[in-house]
A and B are shown apart, each in its own frame.
Chain A
């Protein structure tokens, strides 16, 4: 046993030397290569060089001093990372130097996109209550995070989302007809009617198709950002997720990969206080999500998610630096989920109506921006009334068109599993049609494209 231990120790020593030699060689090589913008090695530079002559810690795993007193590091959760804010609840700019000075048209566009999303939410939510679509998830209270961040991006920046980011698509000009087509799964749906409602995607608008499994998009966003970095195309990736999804292992993977592989990526966390019924104190014990960023070596900030300008400013600066420096940024937008989690959830079972009302009536991203516009003389009661009427009309028209449209051809159940259709699948398709020909009265064929 002792012998074995000795052998193992000796072996480990040999390995250590080997690895050390490799590391030294790499660092030498790195120092000779002229620094390229795209592939500078932040991490390696931060790591201290090995030098046995100095009386300092030489551990390769961290760069730190010795201390001679026992002391555990305390998490700071009482006084957490502060929440960046540009305007107060009455729409007043707090510090003029932080005012993004957006033009009237830009601000009106923000407001109209937020309210149009809100109108669409109300109509589709009701349509689900009436059984006209199978499922829906509203964006109440989080409209500001979508529009503020989307506006700060370039249109060709790639978006990975969770499912509560329809405002990003809205901002990029995704037509109401296509939102509806997806929810109705009709023949116009770009996704060919295969996914549940609100699982939108658009190639033209660089919005990667939503999927239900939470947080899977985080490491994917890192990979996509890495590919864009190599293309040297001056594009960034933004990846949205909720504070609940941040508990998944994939979130850890995504953060760590993005940092070590130096990806031009913005992680955008919507911390709305709940993951379905689970409040944040059952989700984590640290200082929210933003506090995790520095642990991964990631630049991080927390913003008021009901302040569209604060979201805009933070995203704009993160985007600029992410692309210039090839490093990830983490933005945690503090919000409140005003609506139910989804149409399959009644949130009054786990939270008070008073709490919801506070956020709906007294601190809402839409009302705050409206205060700002009113103060500038850009918006009044008349404009509000006219826009409400017009937006409702736009949504209702699209809604009715979507409802009338047939469902996609049943053959589309079998395509796109692979790029090509393999013989086994071809056979299954033929077998389905043989069956349906014989039993057609038992299938809703008249609702589908022919």
Chain B
């Protein structure tokens, strides 16, 4: 099920880049020809054109301390991290559905040719098997990098992640562990992914002691955080915002480097209001901060949480003590979302500093819809409105 759906989505994602995917471009031009041949099927740009992206990617400054850099998008920076790992760690293996030919999102392109089919290989189509196999490989002494094709399809492996991976070290008194396991999965909305190619399941995992959950906001973070997940001695889930795979491009160091886990990053200092987000939503919030400054004269401090579990309480609370207001935003549904955890912790720690109720701008408590996506997501206008209300509180 996952594979077929993935191919469908892959075509639409990759259609922006005709050079790297011949199939997609063939299919596209063929489709266009068909449409032109059929007289009643004319283009109506206003209604037919897909809704514009809900965010603008903000590249980070070029990193200077890790040596030479290369222009990479997010999927290429993931490949670069995997390449670095396979070359330095002979036990490292990469597996999942369709990873051998390069992956449905191109994240493993070229790795099988470079490192061999015993190190980069397809598994049967079975998520509980992939994670169980990965745990076992880690227990057996390998560095196991498992791919779940979409975060939406990680739920069949929920038992292996929650009851097994997360508890391996604890329950054995540290006799055994699967700390060398990393699970990567494409994550978040993509414009047209509907119910099962859009989910952000991080909060389901945030309730599970023993695992780490990480989401990067761009190529530089993706590589550094993924390498940290792989090096970390605990099982990690690494969610890759798939809408950024091609859209986000920046200068990424070619050599390996680590960005520490459980550390939030303050991207922009501010004095009136703290905004916290992760993944794609960080870029939405950066835009909101600019709008707040321009239209309201409000100075926002923008924080990328980066690690969901265990999260960086200190950085967030320090910021709220300074600003007195906190806005948290995520794509996932609001009830039971991770913003609730952040909100109640900050309320406990910063009660005397808070000048307005902590506000959450999140997805609604519905499944992720297809045609209604523009109305569903917590876009910059919903967030901007929340800032306005908080400032006037």
Contact = CB atoms under 8 A, between A and B. Distances in A.
Nearest to A41: B117
B175 A252 contact: no
B138 to A, nearest CB: 7
B129 A253 contact: yes
B30 interface: yes
Nearest to B262: A422
Interface residues of B, number: 58
B163 A227 contact: no
Contacts of B177: 419
A261 B132 contact: no
A195 to B, nearest CB: 5
Interface in A394-450: 415-420, 422-425
B170 A194 contact: yes
Contacts of B7: 15
Interface in B98-125: 101, 117-118, 121, 123-124
B30 A419 contact: no
A256 interface: yes
B10 to A, nearest CB: 11
A7 B35 CA distance: 10
Contact of B234 (A39, A218, A418): A418
Contacts of A283: none
A256 B126 contact: yes
Given A208-B176, A256-B124, A7 B31 contact: yes
Interface stretch (B71-79, B140-148, B246-254): B140-148
Q: Is the interface of A mostly helix, strand, loop or mixed?
A: helix
Interface in A220-276: 220-228, 230-231, 237, 249-250, 252-254, 256-257, 260-261
> What's the interface size class on A, roughly?
35 or more
Contacts, number: 187
Contacts of B26: 14
A256 B129 contact: yes
B203 to A, nearest CB: 17
Contacts of A14: 23, 26-27
Nearest to A233: B141
A416 B139 contact: no
A257 B129 contact: yes
Contact of A219 (B129, B142, B310, B313): B129
B133 A216 contact: no
Nearest to A204: B175
Given A218-B132, A253-B129, A257-B129, A190 B173 contact: yes
Interface string A190-226: 1110110001011100001101010010111111111
Q: Which of B38, B133, B138, B168 neighbours the largest number of chain A CB atoms within 10 Å of its CB?
A: B133
A10 B167 CA distance: 49
Interface string B164-207: 10011111111111010000000000000000000000000000
A227 B91 contact: yes
Interface of B: 7, 23, 26-27, 30-31, 34, 38, 91, 93, 101, 117-118, 121, 123-124, 126, 128-129, 131-142, 144, 156, 159-160, 163-164, 167-177, 179, 209-210, 212, 233-234, 262, 310, 313-314
Given A14-B23, A227-B136, 14 more contacts: A39-B118, A201-B176, A220-B132, A220-B133, A220-B139, A221-B136, A223-B134, A223-B135, A223-B140, A227-B144, A230-B118, A250-B128, A261-B123, A418-B210
17 contacts: A7-B31, A158-B140, A160-B136, A216-B160, A219-B128, A219-B136, A220-B135, A223-B138, A223-B142, A226-B140, A226-B142, A227-B136, A250-B129, A261-B133, A418-B212, A422-B262, A424-B313
Closest 4 CB pairs of A and B: A223-B136, A219-B132, A253-B129, A227-B140
